[in-house]
Amino acid sequence: MKSRIQTTVDGLIMNDAHRSKGSANIDGKEVAWDEAYQITLLPIQEKKGRVRKYSVAKDLVGNIEKQLAEVNWGAYISLEMSEDGKTVIAVNVICDWAESLSIF
């Protein structure tokens, strides 16, 4: 079966943060990762409620980080993915539901 590359992912933003470079032994296998700016998202298309982490393209980190600085937790956003589907290249805020609430 041919896997389809997602060009956009819509969901609720849970977090955005910088991840440090590191490694760990997971289930007897050594796994390593590079530093990255990641967006943690609960995808709307996800049937099992799994939260996913998406890394932002390194040359776009500053722009996307500024764009998300004022976005509230749980906002409905759309991530535009690179051609290979591996990195975020743009973020569109569809609805920041908490923006109009006076408690924040």
Q: Is residue 44 part of a domain?
A: yes
Question: Which pLDDT does position 96 carry in this prediction?
Answer: 93
Q: Is residue 25 part of a domain?
A: no
Q: Is residue 94 part of a domain?
A: yes
- Domain enclosing residue 71, as ranges: 8-18+35-99
Q: Is residue 30 part of a domain?
A: no
pTM: 0.85
CATH number where 75 lies: 2.40.50
CB burial readout 48-80, b (16+ within 10 A) else e: eeeeeebbbbeebeeebbebbeebeeebebebe
Q: Is residue 14 part of a domain?
A: yes
Question: Which pLDDT does position 57 carry in this prediction?
Answer: 97
Partners of residue 25 on adjacent β-strands: 30
Mean pLDDT per block of 10 residues along the chain (104 residues) reads 77 96 93 95 86 96 95 95 95 89 62
Question: Which pLDDT does position 103 carry in this prediction?
Answer: 61
Cβ neighbour number for residue 41 with a 10 Å cutoff: 23
Q: Is residue 88 part of a domain?
A: yes
